[in-house]
Amino acid sequence: MPFSQQIFQQKLLEFIEVCSDGYAILSADDKMLGCNQAFCDIFYQDQRTIQDISFNDLMRLSYREGKGVRFEADNIEEWLAQAQQKRRQNPFRLFEVDLTDGRWFLMSEQILPSGEMLIQAKEITKQKVLEHQLYSKVESLSELALTDELTKVANRRCFVDSVEAELARCQRSDKPAALLLLDLDFFKSVNDSYGHQAGDEVLKATANRIKKALREYDIFGRIGGEEFAVFLSETDPSTALHVAERIRVILADYPIKAGVAELCVTTSIGIALTHGESNFEELYLQADSALYMAKRNGRNRAELFALLSE
């Protein structure tokens, strides 16, 4: 071997030993031939401890001591069986590993034709933290885009999109549905008499009470101002009227505390029922027409559009 090649190999070993990346070489039968200290540090071991250890035994040691790899499994043998289905299936493999101490590593496995495997472990904790922060911000922005800021229920855009999807499903399965349009009675007088902060408290309390009166899968949103809407899938006229009455009562019979004042708030409700190929715009106009009739007939009541059209 030329002298220059010897120097190269010696320097390479020196660099690997002080490198922050972990390196390990496994034999064809998966036993540790050698590794640097950075690789040992991943498992909280030293080089003497894991010399000649098999891959399976190294994982068992890590599992038993609770240090090193974070195992998403209750049984290490089951985990090893699953891991062996992926290992050595291709000449090169790249994957991420998170540790019990919160660190993350990008691991690569390179297999020689003779069967030896070179493992490199590069820490990517900072990148994963940034990735998590970015994901959280995207989630927050998405939630803001779909949620009414004041009442924390679906905003108009989110409500309409959800209703259109559910309406299409109901029509495919030939199931009835209903749209309830709610408007708080004399809400302007609340703002004029008690201020906009009191009005905001009324809107938040109203949204919370309506949610409690609904089924988990009903779609509920704030359309704008003091107007709310509810979509009831697979719902017949009598059930729609029953839900509307439950909402009306839960608002009318229990005053809302807004600052030092206790305000009695009522709502008028218009109900539209699906028929044939109904779309959201048609249902909304029908519910709005029924809502107008509820206001004209004295407020604090529900009216059904289907009955008006007969």
Spatial CB neighbours of 36, under 8 Å, sequence gap ≥ 6: 16, 17, 19, 22, 23, 24, 47
DSSP string spanning 225-251?
TTEEEEEEET--HHHHHHHHHHHHHHH
Q: Is residue 136 part of a domain?
A: no
Indicate if 166 and 247 belong to the same structural domain: yes
Indicate if 114 and 211 belong to the same structural domain: no
Beta bridge partners of 297: none
Indicate if 119 and 66 belong to the same structural domain: yes
With 50 as the cut, is the pLDDT of residue 57 above it? yes
Model confidence at 273, in pLDDT bands (50, 70, 90)?
very high
With 60 as the cut, is the pLDDT of residue 310 above it? no
Q: Are 214 and 228 in contact (CB under 8 A)?
A: no
The per-residue pLDDT for 271 is 97
Q: Is residue 283 part of a domain?
A: yes
Q: Is residue 135 part of a domain?
A: no
Spatial CB neighbours of 139, under 8 Å, sequence gap ≥ 6: none
Number of domains in the chain: 2
Q: Are 268 and 300 in contact (CB under 8 A)?
A: yes
* pLDDT (average), residues 104-114: 94
Query: Which DSSP symbol is given to 20?
Result: S
CATH number of the domain where residue 72 is located: 3.30.450.20
Decide the pairing of beta strands 177-184 and 267-273: antiparallel
Q: Is residue 55 part of a domain?
A: yes
Q: Is residue 138 part of a domain?
A: no
* pLDDT (average), residues 183-191: 93
What span, in angstroms and rounded, lies between the C-alpha atoms of 127 and 132? 9
The per-residue pLDDT for 144 is 61
Question: Domain end: 64, 99, 128, which one?
Answer: 128
Range(s) of the domain holding residue 180: 147-308
Question: Domain end: 128, 156, 174, which one?
Answer: 128
Indicate if 151 and 83 belong to the same structural domain: no
What span, in angstroms and rounded, lies between the C-alpha atoms of 38 and 261? 66
Beta bridge partners of 229: 181, 221
Model confidence at 292, in pLDDT bands (50, 70, 90)?
very high
With 60 as the cut, is the pLDDT of residue 309 above it? no
Q: Which residues are catalytic?
A: 226
Q: Which helix (H) or strand (E) holds 268?
A: strand 267-273
Q: What is the pTM of this model?
A: 0.59
Indicate if 252 and 289 belong to the same structural domain: yes
What span, in angstroms and rounded, lies between the C-alpha atoms of 128 and 105? 9
Q: What is the pLDDT of residues 88-102, one digit of tens each?
A: 999 999 999 999 999
Indicate if 261 and 290 belong to the same structural domain: yes
Indicate if 87 and 155 belong to the same structural domain: no
With 90 as the cut, is the pLDDT of residue 23 above it? yes
What span, in angstroms and rounded, lies between the C-alpha atoms of 228 and 247? 11
Question: Domain end: 128, 161, 191, which one?
Answer: 128
* pLDDT (average), residues 62-86: 91
Q: Is residue 142 part of a domain?
A: no
What span, in angstroms and rounded, lies between the C-alpha atoms of 25 and 118? 5
With 90 as the cut, is the pLDDT of residue 131 above it? no
Q: Is residue 133 part of a domain?
A: no
Indicate if 293 and 179 belong to the same structural domain: yes
With 50 as the cut, is the pLDDT of residue 233 above it? yes
Q: Is residue 188 part of a domain?
A: yes
Indicate if 154 and 297 belong to the same structural domain: yes
What span, in angstroms and rounded, lies between the C-alpha atoms of 56 and 122? 21
CATH number of the domain where residue 153 is located: 3.30.70.270
Burial (CB count within 10 angstroms: exposed 0-12, middle 13-18, buried 19+), residue 48 = exposed
Indicate if 110 and 152 belong to the same structural domain: no
> Percentage of residues in the chain with pLDDT exceeding 90?
73
* pLDDT (average), residues 289-305: 95
With 50 as the cut, is the pLDDT of residue 15 above it? yes
Q: Which helix (H) or strand (E) holds 273?
A: strand 267-273
Indicate if 155 and 205 belong to the same structural domain: yes
Model confidence at 308, in pLDDT bands (50, 70, 90)?
very low
DSSP string spanning 136-192?
HHHHHHHHHHHB-TTT-SB-HHHHHHHHHHHHHHHHHTT--EEEEEEEETTHHHHHH
The per-residue pLDDT for 180 is 97
Spatial CB neighbours of 146, under 8 Å, sequence gap ≥ 6: 154, 155, 157, 158
> Percentage of residues in the chain with pLDDT exceeding 70?
95
Model confidence at 286, in pLDDT bands (50, 70, 90)?
very high
Model confidence at 36, in pLDDT bands (50, 70, 90)?
very high
Indicate if 58 and 173 belong to the same structural domain: no
Counting Cα atoms < 13 Å in the Cβ hemisphere of 200 gives 8
The per-residue pLDDT for 2 is 54
